[in-house]
Amino acid sequence: MKPVWILPVVAVVGVVGALAFAEAPAADRAAAGKRAFATVASVLQSPRCRNCHPAGDAPLQGDRGVPHAMNISRATVAAGVPCTACHQERNSEAIGIPGGPPGAPHWGLPPAKTPMTFEGRSAGALCEQLKDPARNGNRTLPALLEHVTHDPLVLWGWNPGGKRTTPPVPHAAFVEAFGTWVASGGACP
Amino acid sequence: MKLVVNGKPVEVAVPEDTPLLWVLREELDLPGTKFGCGRALCGACTVHVDGAPKRSCVTPVGDVADKQVVTIEGLAPDPATLHPVQQAWIEENAPQCGYCQAGQIMTAVALLRAKPEPTDADIDAAMSANLCRCGTYPRIRRAVHSAARAIKAGGGDRG
């Protein structure tokens, strides 16, 4: 005859085990998401992304991130002169004008109300900002993944022309890391 | 390629990557828009495309097909009447050599549409990328304020 305590023990062990099984992948996903976000952050803070996601209202230029020449800022745009006055749909050298402005479709700064600042943010702060609908233009995580995968202005960062540096990892690796982060539910470091 | 320039449909036979500036000046005989730096840095070549300022020296003409292009020649409502910004430019003696002024005026018109009563800071924000080697910036600023008053008083802006 089996002791009467065996059934409850087996049941408890089973439930705990099942819970552990269910939680382990989630924990793994979160850990993977946090690791992946380090790659994401390294891209967002590279000059090609950071320069149009500045801490202030003036876009930045070059790898050193100096404020845009000619007093250009969000105030310029508000005063009737959009970024696309000078930045066309492709780099100026593509039409035989080396030394002119870089260009890609819908070149511009994030809106003043949702500036999506990359400059000077820690990876954790970047992560929290990125997934916050109140600060990211009301985008879901899959929508963010779509944005970084297909938006031509994002893609320009990996084909910037001239002597401009590119982000630290290839676009495919960035998208893969971003996807891992999205699959984790936006786990933040 | 079909364009609409100063309200008139036109057709030009040029490669699509030809800068709009050269189409305006050499194909359409509209020399009011000036070549300055040729790299979108000085603003002398500024025109309007669908109402927004555009540096025509770096704008491929193919990108403006079927859009509304307005040059300095098309700014005034009719040949006998200057645009209020042009009138203010004369009254305030804004130009010195005058080379940059077509671009300055086109940008000023865009500014006044966005900010009908601009502050000095608004003017600086909009106009800083239009360079004037004669340095008539104080007069340009006065002229913008003067034009704002004229438009508010009913001087009109065709758009």
pLDDT in tens, A47-57: 999 999 999 99
What is the extent of the structural domain holding B146?
84-154
Quote the crossing angle between the two packed helices B101-114 and B120-127, to the nearest 10°: 130
- Domain extents in chain A: 34-183
Shared-domain flag, residues B47 and B108: no
Residue A21: what pLDDT? 38
Q: What total number of domains does chain B contain? A: 2
Q: Pick the residue with more confidence: A2 or A150?
A: A150
Domain end marker among B22, B49, B74: B74
The mean per-residue pLDDT over the stretch A157-178 comes to 97
The reply to whether B111 and B143 lie within a common domain is: yes
Among B51, B74, B97, the domain-final residue is: B74
pLDDT digits (tens, 9 = 90+) for B35-76: 999 999 999 999 999 999 999 999 999 999 989 999 999 999
* End-to-end Cα, chain A, rounded Å: 53
**Within-domain flag for B79:** no
Q: Say which CATH number the domain at B57 has.
A: 3.10.20.30
Tell me the pLDDT tens digit for each residue of A3-44: 445 444 434 444 444 444 345 588 899 999 999 999 999 999
Closest residue in B to A89 (Cα–Cα): B63
Domain presence at residue B138: yes
Contact B46, B106 (CB under 8 A): yes
Interface predicted TM-score (ipTM):
0.95
pLDDT for res B155: 61
The answer to whether residue B136 is domain-embedded is yes
Q: Please report the pLDDT score of residue A15 as a whole number.
A: 42
Residue from B146, B117, B121, B143 nearest B132 by CA: B143
B63 in the same domain as B12: yes
What is residue B79's predicted lDDT score, i.e. its pLDDT? 83
- Tell which of A70, A86, A88 to mutate to test the B interface (max B CBs under 10 Å): A86
| A contacts of B107 (beta carbons < 8 Å) | 80-81
8 Å CB contact of B19 and A95: yes
Higher pLDDT, B154 or A21: B154
Q: Does A169 touch chain B (CB under 8 A)?
A: no
Q: Identify the domain boundary among B74, B92, B121.
A: B74
Residue B100 or B158, more confident: B100
Backbone angles phi, psi at A181, to 5 degrees: -65, -45
C-alpha–C-alpha distance, residues A19 and A12, integer Å: 10
Residue B159 maps to a domain: no
